[in-house]
Amino acid sequence: MANTAEAHHDDHDHHMPGFFTRWFCSTNHKDIGTLYILVSFIAAIIGGAMSWYIRLELAAPGIQYIDDFQFYNVLVTAHGFLMVFFVVMPAMIGGFGNWFVPLMIGAPDMAFPRMNNISLWLLVAGFILLLLSAVIGDGPGTGWTVYPPLSSQEYQPGPSVDLGILSLHLAGASSILGAINFIVTIFNMRAPGMTIHRMPLFVWAILITAFLLLLALPVLAGALTMLLTDRNFGTAFFVPGQGGDPVLWQHLFWFFGHPEVYIIIIPAFGIVSQIVSTFSNKPVFGYLGMAYAMSAIGVVGFIVWAHHMFTIGFDVSTRAYFTAATMVIAVPTGVKIFSWLATMWGGSIKFEVPMLYALGFIFLFVVGGVTGITLANASADLVFHDTYFVVAHFHYVMAIAAILAMFAGYFYWIGKMCGRKYPRGMAKLQFWVFFIGVNVLFFPQHFSGFAGMPRRIPDYPAPYEGWNYVSSLGALITMIGTILFFIIVWRTFYGEEAEANEWGEGATTLEWTVASPAPWHTHELLPDMTGKAPAE
Partner 1 sequence: MSGRTKSNRRLAMALSGFVAGMVGLAYASVPLYELFCQVTGYGGTPQVATVAPGPVSDKKIVIRFDANTNPKLPWKFKAAQTEMTVKLGEQTLAFYEAQNLDREDVTGTAVFNVTPLKAGPYFSKIECFCFTEQTLTAGQRIDMPVQFFIDPEIFTDPDTKDVTTVTLSYTFYPAEPEEKSVDAAEPDNKRKKS
Instruction: Write out the catalytic residue numbers.
Output: 79, 109, 144, 174-175, 258, 260, 262, 273, 307-308, 333, 336, 455
According to the binding rule CB under 8 A, does residue 195 interact with partner 1?
no
Judged by CB under 8 A, which stretch of 187-195, 198-206, 356-364, 526-534 contacts partner 1? Answer: 187-195
Instruction: For the CB of residue 375, give the shortest distance to partner 1 in the complex, in Å.
Output: 23
For residue 136, the one-letter residue type is I
Instruction: For the CB of residue 117, give the shortest distance to partner 1 in the complex, in Å.
Output: 16
Residues 453-464 as b/e (b if ≥16 CB within 10 A, e otherwise) read bebeebbbeeeb
- Strand, helix or coil for residue 139: coil
Instruction: For the CB of residue 64, give the shortest distance to partner 1 in the complex, in Å.
Output: 13
Ranges within 65-124 binding partner 1 (CB under 8 A): 67-70, 111-112
Judged by CB under 8 A, which stretch of 23-31, 46-54, 147-155, 162-170 contacts partner 1? Answer: 147-155
Residue 8 CB coordination number (10 Å) = 9
Contact mark string toward partner 1, 427..466, x via CB under 8 A: --------------------------------x-------
According to the binding rule CB under 8 A, does residue 154 interact with partner 1?
yes
**Residue 379, Cβ density class (10 Å: 0-12 exposed, 13-18 middle, ≥19 buried):** exposed
For residue 441, the one-letter residue type is L
Number of residues that bind partner 1 (CB under 8 A): 49
- Strand, helix or coil for residue 268: helix
DSSP 459: -
Q: In this chain, which of 18, 234, 461, 531 binds partner 1, going by CB under 8 A? A: 234
According to the binding rule CB under 8 A, does residue 141 interact with partner 1?
yes
Ranges within 202-221 binding partner 1 (CB under 8 A): 214-215, 217-219, 221
Q: In this chain, which of 8, 16, 18, 316 binds partner 1, going by CB under 8 A? A: 316
Q: Where are the alpha helices (DSSP H) in 151-245?
A: 160-188, 201-232
Rounded-to-integer distance, Cα 46 and Cα 36, Å: 16
Judged by CB under 8 A, which stretch of 32-40, 163-171, 231-239, 296-304 contacts partner 1? Answer: 231-239
According to the binding rule CB under 8 A, does residue 524 interact with partner 1?
no
**Nearer Cβ to partner 1 (46/189):** 189
Instruction: For the CB of residue 210, give the shortest distance to partner 1 in the complex, in Å.
Output: 9
How many Å is the Cα radius of gyration of the chain? 23
Residues constituting the chain? 536
Decide if 386 contacts 464 (C-beta within 8 A).
no
According to the binding rule CB under 8 A, does residue 237 interact with partner 1?
yes
Decide if 89 contacts 194 (C-beta within 8 A).
no
- Strand, helix or coil for residue 387: strand
Judged by CB under 8 A, which stretch of 15-23, 98-106, 151-159, 163-171 contacts partner 1? Answer: 151-159
Judged by CB under 8 A, which stretch of 75-83, 97-105, 182-190, 406-414 contacts partner 1? Answer: 182-190
Break the chain down into helix, strand, coil percent, rounded to 5. Answer: 70, 0, 30
H, E, C per residue of 72-83: HHHHHHHHHHHH
Contact mark string toward partner 1, 37..66, x via CB under 8 A: --------------------------x---
Rounded-to-integer distance, Cα 192 and Cα 199, Å: 11
**Nearer Cβ to partner 1 (53/302):** 302
Give the sign of the dihedral formed by CA 302, CA 304, CA 306, CA 308.
Answer: negative
**Nearer Cβ to partner 1 (184/349):** 184
Ranges within 249-278 binding partner 1 (CB under 8 A): 251-252
> Among 365, 308, 305, 355, which residue's Cα sits nearest to residue 333?
365
Q: In this chain, which of 49, 131, 248, 303 binds partner 1, going by CB under 8 A? A: 248
Cα-based torsion angle of the residue sequence 28, 216, 89, 82 in order, rounded to the nearest 10 degrees: 130
Strand partners, 497: 420
According to the binding rule CB under 8 A, does residue 243 interact with partner 1?
yes
- Site residues, partner 1 (CB under 8 A): 63, 67-70, 111-112, 138, 141, 153-155, 157, 176, 179-180, 183-184, 187-189, 214-215, 217-219, 221-223, 226, 234, 236-237, 239-243, 245, 247-248, 251-252, 313, 315-318, 459
